[in-house]
């Protein structure tokens, strides 16, 4: 049985200020720690009116300072926006706040549109190509290890040093991240929810077949992140699923809005084509009662042979999200039963 974790994206919802989404993320982390989940990861997006978690390093600090057991991390830091050295410093500080509980998930995607990527980094066009070398340098700095011979910054250290080191993950939705994770001997998580699974099995196969053992990870550690929602009845789960399904339809037209209520989503004048799309979404969505959704998650994990599964859930009402994670924890986490 894989271990189970949480990805939260700090979703803005209609009728509430966007800052509430950040506070909701912090409260959800404490809730999920009490339920026994292994990790709580937060995402990075920019110039996005729906997904408003734009600074994971700050949110991780707040969560780490208000929890005691659960691992806390990024899913992920979009490394091409930043100096690898600065990211190493940030995560050395985070490790000092919560020694041995910090995860550093790294991604290459911009988490934004092209113009925003240039606003973050004027060298945005060329930085993604340097992702492997940036990962190499970051791993050395964050662990206090030597940089490669002849490196111009060989004498530079990232402080504060400590007895523990953040656990670095490579995150992705394509073969590229799988190859980078395998090359450096790092854990790798595929964004199953982002592609609806497309390309996932191939990426995981490439990761395992090309894996180069490292001192910290002698064996590959593969994971996936899925979108799921559980409720007390299948009907209620479908009702709560509709706002995100509507949001995805609007996203296909480059329309990004706060998440609607189930009532507002149900009243939307869907076209016949959109209703067909909704029906296809429901067929593959991990929604239903706790036992049903948990069974399907476990079956997917077993089919893929992954060691870890992270779950991301959107709902307009925070109580619905809390309840969903409770229902799933009862089925997936022995200590929560």
Whole-prediction pTM: 0.96
- What tens digit of pLDDT does each residue of 127-152 get? 889 999 999 999 999 999 999 999 99
3-state SS, the chain, equals CCEEEEEECCECECCCCCHHHHHHHHHHHHHHHHHCCCEEEECCCCCCCCECCCCHHHHHHHHHHCCCCCEEEEEEEEHHHCCHHHHHHHHHHHHHHCCCCEEEEEECCCCCCHHHHHHHCCCCCCHHHHHHHHHHHHHHHHHCCCCCCCCCCCCCCCCCCCCCCCEEEEEECCHHHHHHHHHHCCCEEECHHHHCCCCHHHHHHHHHHCCCCCCCCCCCCEEEEEEEEEECCHHHHHHHHHHHHHHHHHHCCCCCCCECCHHHHHCCCCCHHHHHHHHHHHHHCEEEEHHHHHHHHHHHHHHHCCCEEEEECCCCCHHHHHHHHHHHHHHHCHHHC
Of residues 109 and 184, the one with the higher pLDDT is: 184
- What tens digit of pLDDT does each residue of 287-325 get? 999 999 999 999 999 999 999 999 999 999 999 999 999
Cross-strand bridge partners of residue 287: 229
Give residue 220's pLDDT. Answer: 98
For the chain, which residues make up each domain, given as ranges? 3-230+289-336
Q: Out of 3-17, 107-121, 161-175, 308-322, which region has the weakest mean confidence (pLDDT)?
A: 107-121
Q: Say how far apart CA 195 and CA 193 lie, in whole Å.
A: 6
- What tens digit of pLDDT does each residue of 155-205 get? 999 999 999 999 999 999 999 999 999 999 999 999 999 999 999 999 999
Q: Which fold has domain 3-230+289-336?
A: TIM Barrel (3.20.20)
Q: Out of 103-107, 194-198, 329-333, which region has the weakest mean confidence (pLDDT)?
A: 194-198
Question: What mean pLDDT value characterizes the chain?
Answer: 96
- What tens digit of pLDDT does each residue of 202-244 get? 999 999 999 999 999 999 999 999 999 999 999 999 999 999 9
């Amino acid at each position: 049985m894989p271990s189970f974790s949480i990805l939260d994206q700090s979703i803005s919802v209609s009728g509430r200020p966007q800052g509430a989404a950040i506070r909701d993320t912090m409260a959800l982390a404490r809730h999920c720690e009490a339920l026994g989940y292994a990790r709580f990861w937060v995402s990075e997006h920019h110039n996005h009116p729906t997904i408003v978690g734009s600074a994971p390093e700050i949110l991780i600090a707040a969560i780490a300072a208000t929890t005691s057991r659960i691992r806390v991390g990024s899913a992920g830091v979009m490394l091409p926006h930043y100096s690898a050295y600065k990211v190493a410093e940030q995560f050395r500080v985070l490790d000092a706040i919560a020694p041995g509980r910090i995860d550093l998930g790294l991604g290459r995607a911009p988490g934004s549109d092209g113009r925003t990527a240039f606003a973050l980094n004027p060298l945005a066009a060329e930085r993604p190509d340097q992702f492997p070398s940036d990962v190499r340098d970051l791993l050395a700095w964050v662990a206090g290890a030597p940089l490669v011979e002849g490196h111009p910054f060989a004498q530079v250290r990232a402080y504060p040093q400590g007895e523990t080191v953040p656990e670095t993950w490579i995150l992705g939705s394509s073969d590229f991240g799988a190859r980078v994770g395998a090359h450096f001997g790092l854990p790798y998580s595929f964004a199953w929810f982002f592609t609806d699974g497309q390309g996932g099995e191939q990426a995981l196969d490439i990761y395992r077949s090309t894996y180069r053992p490292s001192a910290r990870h002698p064996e590959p550690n593969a994971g996936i992140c899925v979108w799921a929602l559980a409720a007390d009845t299948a009907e209620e789960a479908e009702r709560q699923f509709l706002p995100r399904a509507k949001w995805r339809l609007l996203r296909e037209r480059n329309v990004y809005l706060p998440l609607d209520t189930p009532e507002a989503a149900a009243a939307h004048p869907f076209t016949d084509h959109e209703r067909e799309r909704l029906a296809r979404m429901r067929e593959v969505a991990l929604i239903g009662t706790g036992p049903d959704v948990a069974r399907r998650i476990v079956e997917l994990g077993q089919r893929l042979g992954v060691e870890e599964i992270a779950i991301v859930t959107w709902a307009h009402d925070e109580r619905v999200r809390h309840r969903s994670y409770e229902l799933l924890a009862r089925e997936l986490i022995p200590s929560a039963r």
